[in-house]
Chain A
């Protein structure tokens, strides 16, 4: 009886795993094969290096979309990454317990807000604010999208970075303080280097969120696809925003295939990011990696302490 249950359980788990793997494979295969069909309509060169995406002229150059995505993500990360790391240091090392609890609730709340709400806030607060502060025509553009995305990426980044910092062994802190390091030195020279893989994972996953965000971005970026953006405050677009805006109205097979190819490109970029996470964490999944990184860091503790001492002398 027990043995039969075990077999049943095993086969259920095996099936579940296989379904997941197969459906992921099918997804990649399907989007890839449908998307690649675009190259029977237009040449790869005009797709990858075309500087305009305009269904009126049947130009489907991906550069305006790709550039928009990269620029938006980059601006977001420049603001968001240091902010998230600072917030998580504050939560782990500085904030007293009640404040920490309030902050964690706030972070969770941020994480559970639907992206349409972020988009609406962006449309009614960020866009008018940028318009008046910078005296630009409309205020929609890459900068507006990045400001919205900073708020959207915070929960992901803060919670992972906080986990990474919290899982560092107490002995690291004690060791550093024992040799006379100030709190700042302890954080800067011991904790941050030791938590590096976890922090990197936080940044990469935040980046994934930024690059894939669709609705909120689409509402504030202006959706101009026909040119490569040359500044941060006039209309632009990103890959997912272009897909969501244009797919419902895509009547020609060329246009449809080109949009699905963009989806495939987005999928590839996301897969690269995931590979990046694995690389950053040494081949283990996020949480296990942050935990595993600790012994290594502990190994380097002597060196860290030595460095601190050297610093003090």
Chain B
């Protein structure tokens, strides 16, 4: 009797110790899981699943202000600006998948110049970028759109600073079967296609083929940029469509396969020969027209910091927006246009 009690007690002690280790462990892995997994979520579905499968871990990270504060103060302490412009410390960047390639390139070049700096760049979606930077999980959040005033209050992010880092462009795309010889549409025709009024390609001069509308999921930056152009930002006017995809790659694949399909993509995705990108109101979707401002679909992508950001974050963003980087070949090759 006593013996079993004693065993039980010993067990409890061991358990408590393990649990204590376990909980501290969860905090750190939680933080890591949030930034790194949600980062790769746009590209690797498995990672997305892992991120969503771990709401507990994610939440525990957000719900432990003490831990987060500790991380932040550590970052702040680590990122002391040194004399002569070289900076060091750790920086985490996450958010818009459209901006990802540009931010990765910037981080690579920045780290080459400042060997003490360690910058982790991941994706996860514009919404994730805004949420995570506001909750203090990451240092810089990338987003294709600004924070709404609603988000500023609800996410406790009134002091957020939005720095435009690149101009992105998006274009309506379609499967080759359907539009026939049509390769240019007016804005009015596009509005009617995407709000579901026009249901067949022959109504805009194409073949007798039903239009299959493929959307990005709500919250996508690409989708908000289309909504801004087509519906003055009112996302509710988008027709429901046949499917809503959570990344550009699936959209490209779906549109290239399904006859009659129409959707929209960032410029970096227009290289597929199986899809056609429409001219809008006679303006062709090419770089010269974005640069001149004639191409209307798109806008600046933002890097968001809570407050002005750590010295390292400030110095990184200075580099990203510097003419040196914005006018570099690498920047242009990725399909972006300088902000200034």
Binding site for B on A (CB under 8 A): 7, 10-12, 14-15, 18-19, 22, 27, 30-31, 34, 54-57, 114-116, 119, 123, 127-128, 131, 137-140, 214-215, 218-219, 222-227, 234-235, 243-253, 260, 263
Contact = CB atoms under 8 A, between A and B. Distances in A.
10 shortest A-B CB distances, which residue pairs? Answer: A249-B219, A249-B127, A222-B243, A14-B11, A11-B11, A137-B212, A138-B242, A15-B15, A11-B10, A248-B128
A250 B49 contact: no
A62 B168 CA distance: 35
Given A248-B128, A249-B127, A123 B218 contact: no
A244 B7 contact: no
A285 B225 CA distance: 54
A19 B19 contact: yes
29 contacts: A7-B6, A10-B7, A11-B11, A18-B12, A30-B56, A56-B235, A57-B236, A128-B258, A131-B258, A137-B210, A137-B212, A137-B260, A138-B214, A138-B243, A218-B246, A219-B45, A222-B243, A235-B240, A235-B242, A243-B52, A244-B49, A245-B217, A245-B244, A246-B219, A248-B51, A249-B217, A250-B219, A251-B127, A251-B154
Nearest to A128: B257
A249 B220 contact: yes
B42 to A, nearest CB: 8
A14 B258 contact: no
Contact of B246 (A10, A57, A245): A245
Interface string B198-241: 00000000000010101001111000000000000001100011
A31 B219 CA distance: 24
B306 to A, nearest CB: 15
A302 to B, nearest CB: 46
B67 to A, nearest CB: 16
Given A235-B244, A246-B217, A10 B55 contact: no
A55 B15 contact: no
A11 B55 contact: no
The residue in B38, B154, B220, B258 that gathers the most chain A C-beta atoms within 10 A of its C-beta is B258
B236 to A, nearest CB: 5
A11 B49 CA distance: 35
Interface of B: 6-8, 10-12, 14-15, 18-19, 22, 38, 41, 44-46, 48-49, 51-53, 55-56, 59, 124-128, 130-131, 150-151, 154-155, 210, 212, 214, 217-220, 235-236, 240-246, 250, 253-254, 257-258, 260-261
Contacts of A11: 7, 10-11, 14
A222 B242 contact: yes
Contacts of B51: 247-248
B46 A251 contact: no
A125 B250 CA distance: 14
Given A123-B253, A222-B243, A245-B244, A253 B38 contact: no
A14 B5 CA distance: 12
B151 A248 contact: no
A19 B240 contact: no
Nearest to B211: A137
Given A30-B56, A227-B240, A18 B11 contact: yes
A116 B38 CA distance: 17
Given A235-B241, A253-B154, A7 B10 contact: yes
